[in-house]
């Protein structure tokens, strides 16, 4: 078991953290942040204890009584749709002795029963059953002893988030301007998106931040790390960076995005087949500008701070197969310094034909999943970062990594003045402001004081 950090260790981390935001803006990130016990403990407290954290998608629990077991940081919560059809996020711990109530990852129930002493809670969290209540708990007020809800739980277009921080800003403000981009996916089909089955879950010996950092918009790695995909003809979306239509969205309420696009006038919609996009994407839930961006999009990756990322992409499971476009939400759960549990959900337009959904799911498994031809390679690269970060050298010498791309004199990336969406948007993906956005938000949140949305401060 890790030993709790001493005050002096925390003070020393705080001192280092204070410098990081400036370092990052200048294109340098200290390597040690990818593997440090004290820092990890502080992340659980200052980030996962204070931010909005993604838990589930509403379509995972469509019926009254449906529940899934999830976590905020390392705290266990049940996300349950009560018999009253209201979705609640309840702490998975009996109020009597603290034992676990939810023994499954997923299921449907009218009530949660504690196997320790038999206290029983309705699927709304209300305490309804206490053995020997009339002789042993004569004065017990059942209303006071229901399951504890997460201090805040809100949804946005099917995404269920919760926060341990009662004072955090509303989820809408936390997502802030980034909703403009999130809607490109979640509102593309007026029917909404639905999760296929259960999420993939797997362990990676890499820090959770590596996942967030990569999906924040690392457009530079695909041409090297994923070169085999292009060689085999499994995707048209992993080519060289620096395409003339590629853009980076930075500083968008603390979140960021990379979008690869087709030429103006072309219709692609991430590679959905014409019969799907003609029938199911009519733009009724989007502005004309958003619809135009969606129309030209080839690949979209993005990260919502702190640890939920997304990708919208076309892939094939075999070179001579049809292939399909799909949307995936992925979460990098902290499980110790340099350790994460990756979760991945595949989403498809709810109204799409069943045959298309199956094709899209196969494309997703073949590209972004524990066996995904793309994702297999990412986990290897990320593991190397934590391995180098954990030792003496990184911290002693304050080794920093190069995050300079796009800074003055480095590339020709320019801020677009005619871009219709929010954020500071660059006309090239040869820049790393997308990742600097993540680290800037991370260092601010770690330094304390800023919970919730960060203004762009242009």
Partner 1 sequence: MSADDFALQIRDQFLVEQFLFQEAELLDDFRLLDWLSLLDREIDYRIPVRSTRPQDELDKSFSATTFHMIEHFGSLEARMKRFGAGGWSEFPPSRTRRNLSNIRVGRAASDRLSVKSNLLYFWARDEQSVIVSAERHDELRETDGLLKLARRVVLVDHTTLPLPNLSVVL
Binding partner 1 (rule: CB under 8 A), the pick from 37, 109, 155, 351 is 109
Binding partner 1 (rule: CB under 8 A), the pick from 365, 413, 425, 434 is 365
One DSSP character per residue, 205-257 reads SS-HHHHHHHHTT-TTSHHHHTHHHHHHTS-SSS--S--TT-EEEEEETTEEE
- CA-to-CA distance for 53 and 352, rounded, in angstroms? 29
> Per CB under 8 A, does 103 bind partner 1?
yes
Binders of partner 1 in range 397-416 (CB under 8 A): none
Give me 216's structure tokens.
Answer: 């924040």
C-beta separation of 55 from 89 below 8 A = yes
One DSSP character per residue, 244-274 reads TT-EEEEEETTEEEEEEEPPTT---GGG--H
> Per CB under 8 A, does 223 bind partner 1?
no
β-partners of residue 112 are 121
Nearer to partner 1, 11 or 232 (CB): 232
> Per CB under 8 A, does 227 bind partner 1?
yes
> Per CB under 8 A, does 194 bind partner 1?
no
Burial 409-421 (b: 16+ CB within 10 A, else e): eebebeebeebeb
> Per CB under 8 A, does 371 bind partner 1?
yes
> Minimum distance between the CB of residue 109 and partner 1, rounded to whole angstroms?
7
Binding partner 1 (rule: CB under 8 A), the pick from 47, 72, 87, 229 is 229
**CA 28, chain centre distance (Å):** 24
> Per CB under 8 A, does 341 bind partner 1?
yes
> Per CB under 8 A, does 157 bind partner 1?
no
Please choose, from the candidates 446, 369, 29, 36, the residue with its C-alpha nearest in 3D space to the C-alpha of residue 204: 369
102: burial class by Cβ within 10 Å (0-12, 13-18, 19+)? buried
Give the H or E element holding residue 365. helix 354-367
> Per CB under 8 A, does 83 bind partner 1?
no
> Per CB under 8 A, does 108 bind partner 1?
yes
> Minimum distance between the CB of residue 383 and partner 1, rounded to whole angstroms?
6
Binding partner 1 (rule: CB under 8 A), the pick from 49, 65, 76, 107 is 107
> Minimum distance between the CB of residue 433 and partner 1, rounded to whole angstroms?
26
Nearer to partner 1, 249 or 311 (CB): 311
What are the residue ranges of helices labelled H in 151-221? Answer: 171-175, 179-186, 208-215
Please choose, from the candidates 316, 293, 379, the residue with its C-alpha nearest in 3D space to the C-alpha of residue 344: 379
> Per CB under 8 A, does 388 bind partner 1?
no
> Per CB under 8 A, does 383 bind partner 1?
yes
Binding partner 1 (rule: CB under 8 A), the pick from 205, 285, 292, 456 is 205
Binding site for partner 1 (CB under 8 A): 103-109, 196-206, 225, 227-229, 231-232, 234, 317-321, 341, 346, 361-362, 365-366, 369-373, 375-377, 379-381, 383, 387
């Amino acid at each position: 078991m890790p030993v709790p950090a001493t005050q002096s260790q925390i003070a020393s981390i705080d001192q280092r953290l204070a410098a990081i935001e400036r370092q990052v803006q200048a294109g340098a990130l200290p390597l040690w942040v990818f593997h440090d016990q004290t820092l990890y403990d502080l992340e659980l407290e200052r980030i996962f204890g204070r931010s909005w954290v993604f838990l589930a998608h509403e379509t995972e629990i469509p019926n009254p009584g449906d529940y899934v077991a999830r976590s905020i940081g390392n705290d266990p919560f049940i996300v349950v749709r009560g018999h009253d059809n209201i979705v609640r996020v309840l702490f998975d711990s009996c109020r009597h002795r603290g034992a676990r109530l939810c023994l499954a990852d997923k299921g449907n129930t009218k009530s949660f029963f504690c196997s320790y002493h038999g206290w029983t809670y309705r699927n709304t969290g209300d305490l309804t059953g206490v053995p020997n209540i009339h002789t042993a708990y004569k004065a017990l007020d059942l209303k006071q002893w229901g399951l504890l809800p997460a201090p805040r739980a809100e949804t946005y277009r099917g995404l269920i988030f919760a926060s341990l921080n009662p004072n955090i800003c509303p989820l809408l403000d936390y997502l802030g301007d980034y909703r403009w981009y999130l809607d490109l996916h979640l509102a593309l089909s007026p029917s909404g998106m639905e999760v296929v089955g259960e999420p993939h879950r797997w362990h990676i010996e890499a820090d959770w931040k590596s996942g967030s950092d990569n999906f924040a918009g690392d457009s530079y790695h695909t041409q090297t790390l994923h070169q085999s995909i292009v060689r085999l003809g499994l995707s048209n979306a992993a080519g060289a960076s620096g395409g003339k239509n590629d853009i980076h969205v930075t500083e968008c309420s603390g979140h960021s995005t990379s979008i690869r696009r087709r030429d103006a006038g072309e219709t692609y919609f991430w590679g959905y087949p014409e019969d799907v996009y003609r029938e199911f994407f009519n733009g009724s839930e989007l502005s004309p500008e958003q619809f135009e961006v969606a129309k030209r999009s080839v690949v979209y990756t993005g990260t919502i701070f702190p640890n939920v990322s997304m990708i919208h992409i076309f892939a094939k499971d075999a070179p001579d197969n049809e292939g399909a476009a799909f949307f995936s939400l992925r979460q990098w759960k902290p499980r110790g310094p340099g350790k994460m549990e990756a979760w991945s959900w595949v989403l498809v337009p709810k109204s799409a034909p069943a045959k298309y959904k199956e094709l899209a799911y196969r494309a997703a498994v073949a590209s972004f999943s524990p066996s995904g031809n793309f994702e297999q390679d990412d986990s290897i690269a990320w593991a190397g970062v934590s391995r180098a970060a954990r030792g003496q050298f990184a911290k002693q010498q304050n080794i920093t990594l190069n995050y300079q791309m796009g800074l003055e004199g480095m590339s020709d990336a320019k801020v677009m003045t005619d871009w219709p969406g929010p954020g500071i948007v660059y006309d090239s993906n040869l820049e790393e402001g997308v990742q600097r956005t993540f680290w800037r938000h991370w260092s601010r949140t770690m330094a304390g004081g800023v919970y919730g949305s960060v203004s762009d401060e242009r």
